[in-house]
Structure 1
Amino acid sequence: MKSEIFSLPDAELEYFPNFLNKEKADLLLEKLLKEVHWQQQNIKLFGKEIPQPRLTSFYAEQGISYTYSGLQLKPNSFSTELWELKQATEELSGFDFNTCLANLYRHGNDSMGWHADDEKVLGKNPVIASISLGGIRRFQFKHKTNKDLKESIELQHGSLLIMKGSMQHFWKHQLPKTKKEVAPRINLTFRKIN
């Protein structure tokens, strides 16, 4: 499968714009919008509790939980579709995953602020595999110390983005708000929690 390699210092970033064909991506989007138990939870940000600007649902193998921004996620069991996507992602990337955080960005006001996936439970150099379904959104990166280093990708319907190596140590990423009319977008983020 053809990928685009982004040459960023201190990072490994690989993008597969056609990981899923349009027919499969359309079917998955429709099914997940209807069948996932989406929740809007409160997170702690700068000492204040606020509603997350998106809906989420967490899936994991038995006995695994995940905590970020003061939020402890209780896992659902993988559905057949998510398990198959996990296996396809593992086969392509060569890495194993045991969790999936599903995010639903309902409109342009839903977003994810600047952060790095650098929690200890993810290990020294975590691999993050992220599948996009639905509306095209801009995903941005910035280097933690060199303010001149910035990058962005328009994440396509059915695409897979893999962040690996030392990327989480040196780079932050975000999905900013947009004033453009944009269709709902689901992001499925696979990680391995130790």
Structure 2
Amino acid sequence: MTQSNLFEQSEENILPQDGIVNYYGCVFNNQEANQFLLQLLNRIDWKNDEVRIFGKQIITKRKVAWYGSKPFLYRYSNTSKTALPFTDELLAIKAVIEKVSNETYNSCLLNLYHHGDEGMGWHSDAEPELKQDGAIASISFGAERKFNFKHKLTQEKKQIILQHGSLLVMKGTTQRFWQHQLPPTKLIKDLRINLTFRTILE
């Protein structure tokens, strides 16, 4: 896909109101996406996530990692993480998505879903450490998965399929008015790695 086609595709806002979500499709070809998937799988310091829900400490099946340009502290779901230094692979991916999205990012939260049974419930990325209304760039490698949005007031829903090597960018007031979700499914047996590049306030 050419850069001009990417720009044209990104002009369409997936959301009908109260936010901006642009889907650029595959910004990495299949060979590049396969290579990054393998590198991330083997070179990232993956750990099972620990979250506290209703006072109970829960260890998730999915694995996570937190990287950045500085040792940023990030708190979510009653847990906190200190960013590891960006790897060469993450810097290479970041350079591409910054050029395509015309945004800059200084940190990245990674999620490893081993199969379709593992997902993510409804939530917004609105932690106080994050730049308010800043862009969040979501890169997908591996299994194609459905990704849902739900308006906090109207409950209106939107759905998109995230492809291998694709880029989705959420910005503006999206996190204020919308939640998003990666629904679990028993139909998918392959793994997926998702990277969400963000901007932490310094």
Matches within 5 A, 1:100-115: 100-115=108-123
2:161 is matched with which residue? Answer: 154
**What does the per-residue CA deviation read over 1:142-185, in whole Å, with 9 as the maximum and x for residues that have no partner?**
000002x1001110000000000100000000101101033100
Does the aligned pair in 2 maintain the 1:53–1:112 contact within 8 Å? no
Cα distance between partner residues in 2 of 1:116 and 1:53: 21
SS in structure 2 at match of 1:34: helix
| Alignment partner of 1:121 out of 114, 129, 136 | 129
Does the aligned pair in 1 maintain the 2:108–2:197 contact within 8 Å? yes
Cα distance between partner residues in 2 of 1:57 and 1:21: 24
2:141 is matched with which residue? Answer: 133
Do structure 1's residue 68 and structure 2's residue 37 form an aligned pair?
no
1:173 is matched with which residue? Answer: 180
Q: Structure 2 length normalisation: TM-score? A: 0.91
Alignment root-mean-square deviation, CA: 1.2
Cα distance between partner residues in 2 of 1:96 and 1:66: 18
- Name structure 1 gaps, 5 residues minimum: none
Do structure 1's residue 33 and structure 2's residue 41 form an aligned pair?
yes
Does the aligned pair in 1 maintain the 2:71–2:82 contact within 8 Å? no
Letter paired with 2:170: M
Do structure 1's residue 184 and structure 2's residue 191 form an aligned pair?
yes
| Alignment partner of 1:92 out of 100, 114, 125 | 100
1:9 is matched with which residue? Answer: 17
Q: Structure 1 length normalisation: TM-score? A: 0.95
- Please identify, of 138-147 and 63-72, the stretch whose mean Cα deviation from structure 2 is larger: 63-72
Cα distance between partner residues in 2 of 1:76 and 1:68: 17
**What does the per-residue CA deviation read over 1:1-42, in whole Å, with 9 as the maximum and x for residues that have no partner?**
322422421010101112111010011111111121210021
The share of aligned pairs that are identical, in percent, is 41
- Between Structure 1 and Structure 2, how many residues are aligned? 193
Letter paired with 1:16: Y
- Name structure 2 gaps, 5 residues minimum: none
**What does the per-residue CA deviation read over 1:36-72, in whole Å, with 9 as the maximum and x for residues that have no partner?**
1210021012322111241011101123121101111
Moved over 3 A (4+): none
Does the aligned pair in 1 maintain the 2:21–2:171 contact within 8 Å? yes
Does the aligned pair in 2 maintain the 1:61–1:99 contact within 8 Å? yes
Letter paired with 1:101: L
